[in-house]
Structure 1
Amino acid sequence: MPDNMNNSDQTAASAEREFIFEPYRFIPAQQLLLYHDAPVRLGSRALDILAELVERPGEVVSKHDLMARAWPKSVVEENNLKVHISALRRAMCDGGRENRYVATVTGRGYRFVAPVTSQVRETPLEPLPATWEQLRKLPAPASRTTGRTETIAALLRILEQRRFVSIVGPGGIGKSTVALPVAEAFIAHTDIEICFVELSPLSDEKFVVGAVAAALGLTVHSGDGIQSLVATLRERRLLLVLDSCEHVIDAVAVLVEQIINRAPEVRILATSREPLRAASEYVYRLTPLAYPAAGGPITAAQALTFPAVLLFCLRAAESLDGYELTDADTPAVVEICRRLEGIPLAIELAATRMDALGAAELAARLGGRFELLKRGRRGVLERHRTLSASLDWSYDLLQDSERALLRKLSVFSGKFDLDAATALCGEELADTALVVDGVANLVDKSMLVADLRASSVHYRLLDTTKAYALEKLDESGETGRFRRRHLEFHRDRLVQSAQEQDSLSDADWIARYGRYLDDVRSALGWAFAAEDSSALAISLTVAAIPLWTQLSLLEECYQFVERALACGVASRSDELKLRAALGAAVLYVNGPVPSTEAAWTAVLDLADALDDKECQLIALWGMAVCRAYAGEVPGVLQLAARFQDIAVTVDRHTVPSSMDRLIATARHYSGEQAVARTLLQEILDHYVAPAHKSRLVRMQLNQRSASLGTLANVLWLQGYPQQAVETVEAAMEAARSSGHAPSVMYAIANAAFPIMIHVGDHAAAERLLAELADYLKQHAFTLWDTLWNCLQATVQVQRGDTSALFALERAVAQLQDAGYRPRMACHLAKLAMTLNVQGRQDTGLTLIEYALALCDMGQERWCQAEMLRIKGVLLEAGDQQLAEALYRQAIEVAGAQGALSWQLRAANSLASLKLRQGCGEEGQRLLRGIYGRFEEGFDTADLIEARSLLDQAG
């Protein structure tokens, strides 16, 4: 049975009890607050504070005790406690009554004032809704939605019928506030995936695709970002919420149309100050909150039935603890809401000053100011003037130091913490404590928003407030000074970040520094546009290179680096860093095109002039990778020779291994399997994971995984199929454990999948493709998407599904157009064999002749024997004598290369032909000799076929 909680047993019982304060239930041990059995989204700090309060109901709990409970191992500012108390109060709002649970005791602490019972749970909780994990992806609402029940229901019905709905209205009308509960209700009703994208930090339309991709957990690598992003959404059931589209509206409209047209299971809910005017858009115009009309007397109870008045009173209670609307205050409050035209943001801003002015004075001052604003600009909607007036008024009521702080903080594009605020403003205010207090006061007065979801509090300005404060910064003549300081802060932080890359994991590094991206973009936008700021722009661009590299934003890096170079870099050292970054970016953005090698050549020329050994190695490595992608094996070996000459002079034993692997891979592709195996084994025997993350190391694949993958291919060719499978499994394990997605993708496409096709394990090949598809959902990359299509079609035709011919033909053509040549002969061979089955022998022969030409040029000599065999298969129906000659030539070429597996395949084809001719003894004698050289892998496809052919002789 429930019992009142006694102080003596509160700590011991908290881990096994639930606390009930209707309509809420709270289970501290599970960090779970339920509202009518529905979980409430709150951060862990706020829930720790709630636990301390409900365990001591009715007591005054000191601020010290609350901070000790929420931050047991840290010393934090009191401001953090105030922020979390405010969040707790807003989350626990029942029937329009906030602050009915947690009361402030001035100068002493806080008290939980609602009746509390506690009980030990004897039955398990009902399972949380299946949508809870999806709901947690949405930002926590700043407050419960007030007065929008019918609006939310209407939007929900529309969203069920239409795939693209935009909520449109002026700034401050509450578009985002409405969008969140609509999204919550929709995913609860449909069990669909959710993604929320906040676009307000973006300073340029070109970052829209990257922002959406990042929110989806993707990395867009390709030059055509929209196509890559949309490709990953084709099969996903998703509600995509795009918040604050108005300042990047053209780019959003283009992206939305592409998604609607090509991703049939994706729905979009957008908020904007104007319609996107995109195809299929349903525009829902959000109206102001209802408020009482002018006229006769009205009581407090009657006024509270209007959502505008209710919202005002809820916010007033936050600034004036315990405030309740009285009949005496009602006329003034109704007048305020009427003057503010029901605009939620304006109402909330006005309500924050109830503690200083009271309802009557507030109404009088607000009224006079709005009369003045009626003489403002013509052609502007009245509600826009009204919101501007409320901001003017709120700004004027701030203290001088708070106004100055707000102006300066407006230069931040995204979220910022107290350290950033102090670095930007502390010198002006001369005291860090003044900055901390100022930030706390701006949060209290709703001029700043606190984000409590992370382990530390971050802050941001609302869009309208930020725009307003930036205008004030311009008027004060301070913009240039604080833009410069903003840039210098982020530059210095990024310089520091480069020094921490060795000591932090990639995930921790990104968590710490990735959030600076929006501010870096904003600072660079200002510096490149401002007079006499090019040196600042260049210095920040150089400092930001590791950030773009770690976030795989190589196209963005490419754009800013080009702008920096166009300014004329004074420092040759900086120019070298910029050109090296340009070379890496252009390689992955454009692929192995002529401009890519030109970029690396420029890096090498400058590195030679400065005698910078590391950059010389980077340039040679980049040029070698470019030529490897293009299939130019001899060119790789030429560059490798110079690389090795330089590498021996550099005291970094991890640097040469990357080129050693490229050399070994080149030897493998040129048909020198014994040499390749020796080189690869030496690399693996002496492999040490890089401890120093040099610029070259950050650009590379996981070298152990990539080396094992190439070794697996060599082992299969040499006649060790079982060892090949075991080696490729080790390659996959190394790639997965590295946490480096490109390494996993490379291992699948270039090692694991081909080996499974070779041994005939099509089920394993399909599992690998499914894994690759999962990675492609997170790392949108057009080239890899095309490669996946090619591999998927390959396994289908391998299983005998010739309907995949068109997909295979198209994918092979796209790979050729992109200049991507690795394993191209094998792709052409699969296509040629499928064409032959469908009676298109001539077309297939043309492809095989082209593949043989690639072999002759040294690009694909490793599979020359197989190309000769397939040519024989295609010719066999019309010229058996020529086919036999090709099979014998294939056996000879494979023998010269040490490719026993190719020899077996050619011998199988020859033996099969001889059996059909009725003279199979010669073919089987040859096959028996080759078969007898195998020591393992007898359950793989080619050996099973050989055994069957040999058995037919008996």
Structure 2
Amino acid sequence: MIEKAVSYWQQAGERSKARSAMTEAIVQMRRALDLLSHLPDTPGRQGTETDLQLALGGALIAAKGHAAEETGRAYARARCLCKSLNDTPNLLKALWGEFVHYHVRGETDRSHRIAEDLLDLAGRQNDAAILVAGHRAVGDSWLHRGQLALARAHLERGLAMYDPELQRSLTALFAENARVAMLSFLSLTCGLLGFADQARVQSNDALAEARDSSHPISLAFALSVACRLHFVLDDADMVGRRAEELVALTTEQGFAFFLAMGTAYRGWSLAEAGDAEAGVDLLRRGIEGFQASGAAWTLPFYLAQLAAAEANAARFETGLGQLSDALALTQKLGVRWFEAELHRRRGELMLMARPGAAAEAETEFRHAIAIARQQEAKLWELRSAVNLARLWRDQDKADEARGLLAPVYGWFNEGFDIRDLKESKALLQDLWV
């Protein structure tokens, strides 16, 4: 019966390679697991089940998302089997799966502990391939917790250690190519740190690597993070282009999780282009799909996109409510990379919605600047400084405005074509008049 189970498993692998038909692959793996469940609980049966559960976890990430309950069950079962068998190499893989499951669900304290355990155990075992995964996991975790310098260090270390020969066999386990993922997250990290040119190069490299690999889930991953990067850089046209490709790819491949993200990005870009109602509708559909997968870790970010679309429709109070929800979620989840920008956006909307809200808005801008400085997020610091400097200019405080904005703007040495730096330069020139 083990031989028949393995046959189903092999059929699953061939199906997924031939047509990226993850749904069919998952059906075959479940059949194999069902057959194994009727066999005596021997080490041989447990070893076969371990391999199957790990493979199933990777397939479920593609089909249902990292945060899906079934994805978590597959990796949890694999971890239990590995401990029973004292199978450290596969335990490392199971830990990876549990990290990404809890990370995407927004259980950041739990996922961060797993990531550090993974990196520590991989180091003690001297497992080079899993060490890369460990640095990727810890770097990803620090990024979303708002510790950008730590994130950059781990992601760069993982990239330096990356060996395509060692990693090739693990792509199915990780769902996406590890180099693509690390380059993608490094691009977002560098963008937030204030290195827009480097960020765009890294994002383009991730996309090129994904296309060259002919691996659809890696391309979906790279496109989704590219959308996020260009949203951060306030480039609506590029977000729209990447989102269109992401939606087309994920619709064809049946990647529901990434399709939900692409739908949300399309909605925001439509709202920015002037079609606020269609944009709000797509954003709501994307957020619903994102939540349906069990994901939560970037929900505050998508709520901010929805708030921006509502503001484009002049529904300022609705947008403020969504930003308040996003901030409450940020506190609950501990996903702080977007926290400064949420405060800045709330201050901005207060000025639009409520006459006489200057003092409240100034508090929000100051809070945003303080958070950005703590995180070394120079892009967020600059953007918030522009808002506060404008407010002070309008209050005839030009000297204070210059004193705030000039040092932040002067720090930058690249990315002068992005909107934030153009607006900062124009505002400083105005303040000198």
TM-score, normalised to structure 1, is 0.42
Contact kept, 8 Å, 1:579 with 1:599, in 2: the verdict is yes
**CA deviation map 1:215-240 (0-9, x unaligned):** xxxxxxxxxxxxxxxxxxxxxxxxxx
Q: How does 1:459-498 map to 2 (within 5 A)?
A: none
CA distance in 2, matches of 1:615, 1:712: 30
| Match among 385, 401, 415 for residue 937 of structure 1 | 415
Secondary structure, aligned partner of 2:164: coil
**Pair 1:757–1:696, CA change in 2 (3 A):** closer
Which position in structure 2 is the counterpart of 1:801? Answer: 275
Greater than 6 Å deviation, 4+ residue runs: none
What is the rounded CA distance, in whole Å, between the counterparts of 1:598 and 1:949 in structure 2?
Answer: 54
The residue that corresponds to 2:239 in the other structure is 765
Which residue of 1 is the match for residue 335 of structure 2?
Answer: 860
Question: Is the 1:604–1:620 Cα contact (8 Å) retained in structure 2?
Answer: yes
**Structure 1 segment 623-702 matched on structure 2, within 5 A:** 623-650=98-125, 652-691=127-166, 693-694=168-169, 698-702=173-177
Residue 658 to residue 887, structure 1, CA distance change in 2 (3 Å): same
Distance change (3 Å), C-alpha of 1:754 and 1:645? closer
Q: 2:229 aligns with which of 726, 730, 755?
A: 755
Match of 2:400 among 922, 928, 933: 922
In structure 2, the residue matched to 1:479 is none
Cα displacement string for residues 21-69 of structure 1 (whole angstroms, at most 9, x for unaligned residues): xxxxxxxxxxxxxxxxxxxxxxxxxxxxxxxxxxxxxxxxxxxxxxxxx
- In the TM superposition, what whole-angstrom CA distance separates every residue of 1:776-798 from its partner, at most 9, and x where no partner exists? 35412222222221111111223
Cα separation, 2, equivalents of 1:792 and 1:651 = 43
Counterpart contact for 1:908–1:946, Cα < 8 Å: yes
Corresponding position: 1:708 with 2:183: yes
**Stretch of structure 1 that moved more, 686-695 or 595-604:** 686-695
Aligned residue for 1:621?
Answer: 96
1:902 matched residue in structure 2: 380
1:538 aligns with 2:9: no
| Distance in 1 of aligned mates of 2:392 and 2:276 | 28
CA 938–687 in structure 1, closer or farther in 2 if over 3 Å, else same: same
Q: State the distance in 1 between where 2:25 and 2:61 align.
A: 9
User: Residues 548 and 699 of structure 1: is their aligned pair in 2 closer, same or farther, counting only changes over 3 Å?
Assistant: farther
Rounded Cα–Cα distance in structure 2 between residues aligned with 1:669 and 1:810: 24
Kindly indicate whether residue 34 of structure 2 is the aligned counterpart of residue 557 of structure 1: no
Distance 2:148 2:428 in 1: 28
- The residue type equivalent to 2:5 in the other structure is I
Using the TM superposition, give the Cα deviation of residue 903 of structure 1 relative to its aligned residue in structure 2, in angstroms: 0.5
Structure with the larger RCO, 1 or 2 (CA within 8 Å, 6+ apart)? 2
SS of the residue corresponding to residue 415 of structure 2 reads coil
Q: Deviations over 1:552-572 (max 9, x none)?
A: 344323431342244235523
CA 1:734–1:618: 2 relative to 1, 3 Å? same
Give per-residue Cα distances to partners, 1:792-824, cap 9 Å, x unaligned: 111122334313222212322331232223432
The match for 2:257 among 774, 783, 802 is: 783
**Residue 611 of structure 1 is aligned with which of 70, 86, 89?**
86
Alpha-carbon contact 2:132-2:161 (below 8 Å) kept: no
The alpha-carbon distance between structure 1 residues 708 and 588, as it changes in their structure 2 partners (threshold 3 A), is: closer
Give the letter for the 2:181 counterpart: A
Matched, 1:872 2:343: no
% identical equivalent positions: 27
Quote how far apart the aligned CAs of 1:733 are: 1.6
User: Contact (CA 8 Å) 1:637, 1:663: kept in 2 or not?
Assistant: yes
**Mapped contact 2:247–2:263 kept (Cα < 8 A):** no
Q: Distance in 1 between matches of 2:12 and 2:309?
A: 46
The one-letter code of the counterpart of 2:416 is F
CA gap of 1:767–1:598, structure 2 versus 1, over 3 A, is closer
Q: Deviations over 1:609-663 (max 9, x none)?
A: 1111222112111111111221222222211233234323546412221232121
Q: Can you list the C-alpha shifts for 1:191-227, whole angstroms capped at 9, x where unaligned? A: xxxxxxxxxxxxxxxxxxxxxxxxxxxxxxxxxxxxx
Cα distance change on mapping 1:575 and 1:569 into 2, 3 Å: farther
Checking the alignment, whether the CA contact within 8 Å between 1:855 and 1:864 is kept in structure 2 is yes
Q: Which residue of 1 aligns with 2:430?
A: 952
Richer in strand (by share): 1
Contact 2:140 2:151 in 1 (8 A): yes
Aligned runs of 1:324-403 on 2, under 5 Å? Answer: none
The total of aligned residue pairs comes to 420
Q: How far off is 1:880 after superposition?
A: 1.3
In structure 1, stretches of 5+ residues that fail to align are 1-533
Please tell me the residue identity of whatever aligns with 1:911: A
1:845 counterpart = 2:311: no
The within-5 A match list for 1:118-267 is none
Give CA-to-partner distance per residue, 1:80-100, whole Å, 9 cap, x none.
Answer: xxxxxxxxxxxxxxxxxxxxx
C-alpha distance after superposition, 1:221-277 (max 9, x if no partner): xxxxxxxxxxxxxxxxxxxxxxxxxxxxxxxxxxxxxxxxxxxxxxxxxxxxxxxxx
Q: 1:27-106 counterparts in 2 under 5 A?
A: none
**What is the rounded CA distance, in whole Å, between the counterparts of 2:141 and 2:167 in structure 1?**
27
The letter of the residue matching 2:288 is: A
Please identify, of 586-595 and 920-929, the stretch whose mean Cα deviation from structure 2 is larger: 586-595
- For residues 863 and 714 of structure 1, do their structure 2 counterparts lie closer, same or farther at Cα, with a shift above 3 Å needed? same
CA distance in 1, matches of 2:2, 2:160: 47
Aligned residue among 344, 367, 370 for 1:892:
370
- The one-letter code matched in structure 2 to 1:788 is G
CA offsets per residue over residues 539-581 of structure 1, 9 Å max, x none?
4234445335534344323431342244235523223233333
Aligned partners of 1:701 and 1:742 also within 8 Å: yes
1:747, distance to aligned residue in structure 2 (A): 0.8
3-state SS of 1:821 partner: coil
How far apart, CA to CA, are the structure 2 residues paired with 1:697 and 1:883? 48
Residue 792 of structure 1 is matched in structure 2 by 266
**For 2:217 and 2:293, how far apart are their aligned partners in 1?**
18
| TM-aligned CA deviation for residue 695 of structure 1 | 5.2
- Displacement of 1:849 in angstroms is 1.7
Deviates more, 1:861-870 or 1:924-933: 924-933
SS at match of 1:711: helix
Measure, in 2, the Cα distance between the counterparts of 1:802 and 1:850.
Answer: 21
Tell me how far apart the structure 1 counterparts of residues 2 and 193 of structure 2 sit (CA, whole Å): 57
Partner Cα distance (1:579, 1:720) in 2? 40
Unaligned runs of 5+ in 2: none
The SS at the match of 1:819 is: coil
In 2, distance between residues paired with 1:950 and 1:686?
43
Distance 2:237 2:170 in 1: 39
Q: Looking at CA atoms only, which structure, 1 or 2, has the larger radius of gyration? A: 1
Correspondence for 1:911: 389
The one-letter code of the counterpart of 1:641 is E
The structural deviation recorded for 1:602 is 1.7
Aligned: 1:568 with 2:39 = yes
Q: 1:759 to 1:597 in 2, by over 3 A?
A: closer
**TM-score in terms of structure 2 length:** 0.89
In structure 2, the CA distance between the partners of 1:565 and 1:830, relative to structure 1 (3 Å rule), is same
